[in-house]
């Protein structure tokens, strides 16, 4: 069993601008409309070149670090998205089909799956390790597990970020996201010094489980592979008002899952919406 | 915890399977050829694997048709690797083996093709409606399904460090108790995205790449599939080689230009040495990233000077294979292991005159030597770095 604290969280979509908005929405208190991305860490020149996928990820990563009062340079990063930046894939494939010599070098270097972590570590001057993964429908749970293992193994906080961009028409059949979203959380070794949102007890089991949906999520985020992490976040939000531990099970593969017990911590009441 | 490498295989332009690859190395015969990739008009040299297009996918995975998956399957069939995996699956059970592959292209070549045949509504033609192909995790999905592996499977995509980082993840998975064995590796295939993409960044040479040469002027893009099976030592005690250490870092500098002092590269190498419990002087050979870009090679020698105060045999093998991007990590890890297996260090093919500005010596010729410990480095776009240390499993 790995024990870790969630010490910071971030979230963004058109319906929630941060974790507190997400918690409010999940508890039935309504969703916002048309939330815009904040300018954030990127300089105006870099912002102009950066795609939405990078801007969203940086927004939620910054929120999580600010909430935890942690310097990004002290954190390793685990990024996931099931499909990568589909908008850029669409641009690249369209351009290649019409006029390949016109392919934009900026768009090309933005197409690497680790673009968001690249821009993030550049903006924050962080030399700690970063990874970018996909496991298609298991992306969010595998990323969660990877982050948990790294935190336990290296005894360091790990910043986990998951996101998905809006699908272009040609790729909707593979992943029908109608709107972009991103979420982040920081998993840290248990410590008395860092106030936590919740404490997690994490174990893997050789047993098939199904995805836990969450009826409170906005319609457009239901059944999106990377949004499956939001069931963990939803449980974090709910645990604020409950005394007993909650349990979330995330499938890792057809035959295995990760079992997460979520307990509110004493310090967490300050995050209660 | 030390993991042993109980089987491995590699397929690239310099050879399909280890024996062909070793032959190319001994004969100093490059696998690069003038660009003949269909649909690509660029004047350049590429590392194209022979006959990928002729590979037929087995029935159970025929729906995952893509050139990348054809290359993945071709690679799996070499060097009795399939048999080794099946034997390990029998021992540990299919849910107790994981799959961690690295890729940068995945099957985007298939997506490129699909976009030339979109229907009038801009949607994909029926033949291309393959959700498990048009996504980054396609190689992992393919390999797991082709081999009946039911344990967790994940794809790492961090540009050129992708299939080196897989070793670090595998070590963590086994040590956590999640699985008993991990099939690691990487598959990247030639496609218009990488050819035109790197060309747009003016990083591609119009001649065969010349790593560390004073006249080097860019990379040659290649494709490859490589795999290794990692397990705890007690499972395969007589295995020759082990993963002794790994180190990962970021440059925090620029998306397509390395840190000018090689800071991230130095960190990754030092972290790998610390994890291996070794001093730099214990390394007998370093397989360098050495892409033949003007900038990478110069900065890499500077990073080497900082970590290796005494000389060490170091070479880049991209003159044989091209830069295989997401598959470079696994391919070059395997080339390092083969060097240890054959007591033969590959030199730096196509390096005739190492750049006089380098403060670090580059091995150009092949060299016979008994190697106890080897290091393989991969430094990627976005400043993502990985360093691996391998040793003989004879403690």
The model's pLDDT over A89-110, given as tens digits with 9 standing for 90+, comes to 999 999 999 999 999 999 999 9
- Predicted pLDDT of residue B13: 98
Q: Which residues contact B387 (CB under 8 A, 6 or more apart)?
A: B164, B246, B247, B248, B265, B268, B269, B271, B272, B375, B376, B377, B378
- pLDDT of A149 higher than 60: yes
* Across B332-351, average pLDDT: 98
Interface probe for B, chosen from A77, A128, A132 (most Cβ of B below 10 Å), is A132
Q: Is B32 within 8 Å of chain A by CB?
A: no
Query: Which residue on chain A is closest to B158 by alpha carbon?
Result: A114
What is the nearest CA distance from A222 to chain B, expressed in angstroms?
18
- Predicted pLDDT of residue A231: 73
Q: How confident is the model at residue B256 (pLDDT cuts 50, 70, 90)?
A: confident
**Catalytic annotation, pick one of B12, B160, B191, B209:** B160
- Predicted pLDDT of residue B57: 98
Q: Mind spelling out the 3-state secondary structure of chain B?
A: CCEEEEEEEEEECCEECHHHHHHHHHHCCCCCEECCCCCCCCCCEEECCCCHHHCCCCHHHHHHCCHHHHHHHHHHCCCCHHHHHHHHHHHHCHHHEEEEEECCCCCHHHHHHHHCCCCCCCCCCHHHCCCCCCCCCHHHHHHHHHHCCCCCEEEECECECHHHHHHHHHHHHHHHCCCCEEEEEEEECCCHHHHHHHHHCCCECCCCCCCCECCCCCECEECEEEEEEEECHHHCCCCCEEEEEEEEEECCCCCCCCCCCCHHHHHHHHHHHHHHCCCHHHCCEEECCCCCCHHHHHHHHHHHHHHCCCCCEEECCHHHHCECHHHHHHHHHHHHHHHHHHCEECCCCCCCCECCCCCCCCCCCCEECCCCEEEEEEEEHHHEEEEEEEEECCC
B323 is catalytic: yes
User: For residue A129, which residues of chain B lie inside 8 Å, CB to CB?
Assistant: 248-250
Q: How confident is the model at residue B351 (pLDDT cuts 50, 70, 90)?
A: very high
User: For residue A84, which residues of chain B lie inside 8 Å, CB to CB?
Assistant: 135-136, 157
- Predicted pLDDT of residue B225: 98
* Across B162-190, average pLDDT: 96
**Catalytic annotation, pick one of B137, B259, B289, B313:** B289
B134 is catalytic: no
- Which pair of tokens denotes residue A111? 């197409």
User: For residue B151, which residues of chain A lie inside 8 Å, CB to CB?
Assistant: 253, 255-256
In whole angstroms, what is the distance from residue B273 CA to residue B267 CA? 10
* Across B263-272, average pLDDT: 96
Q: Which residues contact B204 (CB under 8 A, 6 or more apart)?
A: B42, B44, B195, B198, B218, B219, B220, B221
Q: How confident is the model at residue B78 (pLDDT cuts 50, 70, 90)?
A: very high
Q: Specify the pairing of strand B384-392 against strand B241-250.
A: antiparallel
- pLDDT of A273 higher than 50: no
- pLDDT of A269 higher than 50: no
Which is higher by pLDDT, B198 or A39? B198
Q: Is B165 within 8 Å of chain A by CB?
A: yes
In whole angstroms, what is the distance from residue B377 CA to residue B269 CA? 8
Among the residue ranges A112-121, B219-228, B230-239, B328-337, the one predicted with the least confidence is B230-239
Q: How confident is the model at residue B357 (pLDDT cuts 50, 70, 90)?
A: confident
Interface probe for A, chosen from B96, B125, B193 (most Cβ of A below 10 Å), is B193
* Across A230-254, average pLDDT: 79
The model's pLDDT over B91-111, given as tens digits with 9 standing for 90+, comes to 999 999 999 999 999 999 999
Q: Is B132 within 8 Å of chain A by CB?
A: yes
ipTM entry: 0.95
* Across B373-389, average pLDDT: 92
Which is higher by pLDDT, B157 or A219? B157
* Across A171-183, average pLDDT: 91
Closest CA to B66 of B138, B163, B12: B138
Which is higher by pLDDT, B260 or A232? B260
Q: How confident is the model at residue A244 (pLDDT cuts 50, 70, 90)?
A: confident
* Across B225-236, average pLDDT: 93
B384/A117 touch (CB, cutoff 8 Å), yes or no: yes
- Please compute Rg for chain A using Cα positions: 18
- Mean pLDDT score across all residues of chain B: 95
- Predicted pLDDT of residue A268: 53
- Predicted pLDDT of residue B146: 97
| Cβ-nearest to B192 among A96, A112, A145 | A96
Q: How confident is the model at residue A267 (pLDDT cuts 50, 70, 90)?
A: low
What is the nearest CA distance from A226 to chain B, expressed in angstroms?
13
| Cβ-nearest to B157 among A96, A113, A254 | A113
- pLDDT of A272 higher than 70: no
B95/A124 touch (CB, cutoff 8 Å), yes or no: no
* Across B113-131, average pLDDT: 96
What is the nearest CA distance from A158 to chain B, expressed in angstroms?
14
| Cβ-nearest to A112 among B122, B159, B249 | B159
A122/B252 touch (CB, cutoff 8 Å), yes or no: yes
User: For residue A111, which residues of chain B lie inside 8 Å, CB to CB?
Assistant: 193, 197
- Predicted pLDDT of residue B281: 98
| Cβ-nearest to A93 among B111, B155, B156 | B111
| Cβ-nearest to A126 among B123, B252, B256 | B252
The CA-based angle B175-B180-B186, given to 5 degrees, is 90
Interface probe for A, chosen from B37, B122, B200 (most Cβ of A below 10 Å), is B200
B342 is catalytic: no
Most confidently predicted of A30-44, B181-195, B379-393: B181-195
- pLDDT of A211 higher than 90: no
What is the nearest CA distance from B263 to chain A, expressed in angstroms?
8
């Amino acid at each position: 069993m790995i024990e870790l604290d969630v010490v910071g969280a971030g979230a963004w979509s058109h319906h929630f601008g941060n974790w507190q908005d997400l918690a409010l929405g999940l508890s039935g208190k309504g969703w916002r409309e048309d939330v815009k991305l904040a300018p954030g860490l990127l300089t105006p020149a870099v912002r102009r070149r950066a795609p939405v996928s990078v801007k969203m990820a940086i927004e939620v990563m910054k929120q999580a670090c600010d909430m935890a009062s942690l310097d990004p340079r002290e954190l390793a990063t685990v990024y996931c998205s099931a499909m990568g930046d589909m908008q850029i894939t669409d641009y690249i494939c369209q351009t290649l089909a019409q006029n390949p010599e016109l392919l934009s070098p900026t768009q090309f270097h933005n197409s690497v799956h680790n673009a968001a972590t690249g821009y993030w570590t550049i903006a924050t001057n962080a030399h700690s390790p970063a990874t970018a993964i996909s496991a298609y429908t298991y992306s969010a749970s595998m990323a969660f597990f990877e982050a948990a293992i790294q935190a336990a193994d290296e005894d360091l906080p790990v910043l986990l970020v998951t996101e998905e961009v809006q699908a272009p028409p040609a790729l909707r059949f593979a992943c029908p996201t109608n709107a972009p979203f991103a979420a982040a959380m920081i998993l840290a070794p248990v410590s008395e010094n860092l106030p936590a949102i919740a404490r997690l007890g994490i174990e893997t089991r050789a047993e098939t489980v199904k995805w836990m949906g969450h009826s409170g999520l906005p319609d457009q985020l239901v059944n999106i592979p990377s949004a499956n992490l939001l069931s963990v976040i939803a449980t974090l939000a709910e645990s604020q008002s409950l005394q007993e531990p909650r349990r979330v099970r995330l499938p890792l593969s057809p035959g295995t899952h990760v079992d997460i017990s979520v307990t509110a911590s004493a310090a967490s009441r300050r995050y209660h919406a | 915890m030390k993991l042993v490498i109980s089987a491995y295989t590699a397929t690239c332009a310099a050879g399909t399977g280890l024996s062909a690859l070793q032959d190319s190395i001994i004969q100093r015969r490059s696998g690069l050829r003038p660009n003949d990739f269909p649909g690509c008009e660029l004047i350049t040299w590429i590392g194209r694997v022979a006959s990928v297009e002729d590979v037929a996918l087995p029935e159970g995975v025929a729906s995952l048709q893509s050139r990348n998956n054809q290359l993945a399957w071709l690679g799996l069939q070499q060097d009795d690797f399939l048999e080794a995996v099946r034997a390990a699956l029998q021992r540990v059970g299919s849910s107790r083996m994981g799959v961690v592959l690295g890729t940068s292209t995945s099957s985007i070549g298939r997506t490129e093709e699909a976009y030339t045949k979109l229907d009038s509504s801009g949607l994909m033609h029926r033949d291309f409606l393959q959700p498990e192909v048009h996504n980054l995790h396609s190689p992992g999905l393919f390999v797991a399904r082709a081999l009946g592996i039911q344990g967790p499977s994940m794809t790492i995509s961090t540009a050129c460090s992708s299939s080196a980082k897989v070793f670090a993840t595998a070590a963590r998975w086994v040590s956590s108790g999640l699985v008993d064995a991990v099939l690691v590796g990487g598959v990247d295939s030639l496609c218009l995205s990488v050819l035109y993409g790197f060309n747009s960044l003016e990083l591609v040479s119009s001649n065969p790449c010349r790593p560390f040469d004073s006249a080097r002027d860019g990379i040659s893009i290649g494709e490859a599939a490589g795999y290794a099976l990692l397990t705890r030592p007690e499972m395969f005690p007589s295995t020759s080689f082990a993963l002794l250490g790994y180190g990962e870092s970021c440059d925090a500098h620029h998306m397509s230009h390395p840190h000018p002092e090689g800071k991230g590269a130095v960190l990754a190498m030092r972290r790998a040495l610390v994890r291996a419990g070794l001093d730099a002087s214990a390394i007998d050979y370093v397989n360098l990233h050495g892409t033949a870009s003007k900038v990478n090679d110069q900065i890499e020698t500077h990073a080497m000077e900082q970590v290796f105060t005494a000389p060490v045999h170091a070479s880049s093998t991209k003159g044989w294979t091209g830069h295989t991007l997401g598959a470079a990590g696994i391919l070059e890890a395997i080339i390092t292991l083969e060097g240890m297996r054959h007591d033969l260090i590959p030199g730096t093919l196509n390096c005739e005159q190492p750049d006089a500005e380098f403060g670090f010596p580059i091995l150009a010729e092949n060299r016979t030597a008994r190697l106890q410990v080897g290091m393989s480095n991969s430094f990627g776009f976005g400043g993502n770095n990985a360093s691996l240390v391998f040793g003989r499993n004879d403690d």
